[in-house]
Amino acid sequence: KILILDFGSQYTQLIARRIRESNVYSEIHSHEFPIQKIKEEKPQGIILSGGPMSVYDSDSPKIDKEIFELGVPILGICYGLQLLTINNNGMVEPAEKREYGKAKISITQRDDLFKNIPDESIVWMSHGDYVTKLPENFIVTSKSENSPICSISNSSKKFYGVQFHPEVAHTEFGKQIIDNFIFNICNCKPDWTTINFIDSSIEEIKNKVGNNKVILALSGGVDSSVAAVLLHKAVKENLICIHVDHGMMRKNESADIIKMFKDNYDLNVIHIDASELFLSKLKGVIDPEQKRKIIGNTFIEIFENEARKFHDVEYLVQGTLYPDVIESVSVKGKSVTIKTHHNVGGLPEKMNLKLIEPFRELFKDEVRAIGRELGLPEIFIKRHPFPGPGLAVRVLGEITKERLDILRDVDEIFMNELIDKNIYDKIWQAFSVLLPIQTVGVMGDNRTYENVIALRAVTSTDGMTADWFRFDYEFLENVSNKIIRMVRGVNRVVYDISSKPPATIEWE
């Protein structure tokens, strides 16, 4: 096992991710994790993360010197390198200018950390202090144009330090460097798998929750679905899942979700059909932000009411993923609200519940892998993202039951075509939008004056940026014909060819 001590870098979780990608177990602990506990963990290696402070700031996080006496290999990254330096009689000084971004390093002396790394490569730097005096018995292993000391090592003690960040994708051979550390230097075996993640999460949740009740808002999306199955394994009948149907779901969606969980997992799912209430609150509303706020608030209201019926609930499960964590930290307070996202965000504060976030350190693909391991049907695992407010933001203009039904029929045709033609998996997200205008058409000998549907399909890796998907014309023609032929009230189909930015993925 590799122990990562966190000194506050925004990249710490990425170190864990890189190590997990190589099937080695790693654990992140605060830099305050006591030395006694570190010994008990018996790590095969320790990584000291980066951090935002300077080692000479009076309140900067320190390290117990005893860590260097344990006989365990240590890799210091950025701030970690500086700790390694000042604790071994070296010196660190502030630079005139912060070095930030890509830099080219050249290897000056090759050690085990740089095995199979080319003499020159690109790395990602982000630091304000430099090593100016080498710690005792260390050598310099690489340099860059801006700094004569980019990495150092003491091979006999197995201490290594790098000024750059091997854990970020911009560092060309970063993964190889981390692999060199965990395999060649620490002798770890690649035996950590999703099964182990599941087992240890279950253990951890059991210890935390005891006999208390846990509540979960089950939307049917990948994250909440996988969380529900995992939690059920850990706390069994103490898990209460609530599925709030806001009436903005796709065709048969709520029924399918509930059936899947009841049939396959014996899960206790409470189905709240609140579609009438949501529809009445949304009556006459056309402003997108207002729609989003009404749905978010009503959702919380209903969920809270239901939860209150169980008196002894202590915990709320949230399917928070690692990108949610970084994003909320790095842009806190600075960003403009483009769209008010609806998730169960307001719940924990309002309800005074403790949180369980089993996927806080994971990325979506990792959650999918866990879902597969837990036996969730592939069709659930591979689902495109679906926004919390559902079809409400895809029925532009006023939302009525009739208009929702039109969109549901259209969407079903579009999705089935994507699946039939094996295109669904190539797309990050695809959906249809009902526009708030009518256009003239001709059907048989008659004039029609009916709705327009816009189809949207995008590729993306994280939803932050996106490009429109290049369908072939035949596919588009076929879907368009089917929709107009089969869905009453639609006489025109258009395809959205805007990328994000400057457009967004959803239309509202």
Q: Which residues are annotated as a binding site?
A: 219-225
Closest approach, Cβ 343 to ligand XMP, in A, equals 5
> How many C-alpha atoms does 236 have within 13 Å on its Cβ side?
2
Per-residue binding letters, 443-482, with ligand XMP (x by CB under 6 A): --------------------x-------------------
Closest approach, Cβ 336 to ligand XMP, in A, equals 13
**Sign of torsion over alpha carbons 289, 294, 295, 301:** positive
500 binds ligand XMP (CB under 6 A): yes
Closest approach, Cβ 435 to ligand XMP, in A, equals 16
Member of 141, 320, 429, 451 binding ligand XMP (CB under 6 A): 429
Tell me the C-alpha distance between 286 and 168, whole Å: 43
Amino acid at site 488: R
CB 468 within 8 A of CB 457: yes
State yes or no: is 188 an active-site residue.
no
Rounded to 5 degrees, φ, ψ at 98 are -65, 135
Closer Cβ to ligand XMP, 192 or 380, answer by number: 380
Max distance between CA atoms of the chain, in angstroms, equals 92
290 binds ligand XMP (CB under 6 A): no
Q: How far is CA 132 from CA 41, 109, 149, 155, in A?
A: 34, 18, 8, 20
Cite the annotated binding site for ATP by residue number: 219-225
Closer Cβ to ligand XMP, 208 or 281, answer by number: 281
Stretch that binds ligand XMP, among 43-51, 124-132, 241-249, 497-505 (CB under 6 A): 497-505
Member of 52, 345, 385, 489 binding ligand XMP (CB under 6 A): 385
Closest approach, Cβ 295 to ligand XMP, in A, equals 8
Q: In what order do the strands lie in the sheet with 213-217?
A: 269-273, 239-245, 213-217, 313-317, 354-356
Given the residues 165, 232, 243, 342, the one annotated as active site? 165
Stretch that binds ligand XMP, among 41-49, 129-137, 191-199, 380-388 (CB under 6 A): 380-388
Query: What is the rounded radius of gyration, in angstroms, for the C-alpha atoms of the chain?
Result: 27
Closest approach, Cβ 432 to ligand XMP, in A, equals 13
Extract the runs of DSSP E, i.e. beta strands, from 262-370: 269-273, 313-317, 354-356
**Near ligand XMP in 302-361, by CB under 6 A:** 339, 341-343
CA dihedral 100, 101, 104, 107 (to 10 degrees): 60
Closest CA to 453 of 486, 418, 502, 499: 486
Given the residues 99, 167, 172, 508, the one annotated as active site? 167
- Interacting residues with ligand XMP (CB under 6 A): 339, 341-343, 385, 387-389, 429, 463, 500, 504-506
Q: Which residues are catalytic?
A: 78, 165, 167
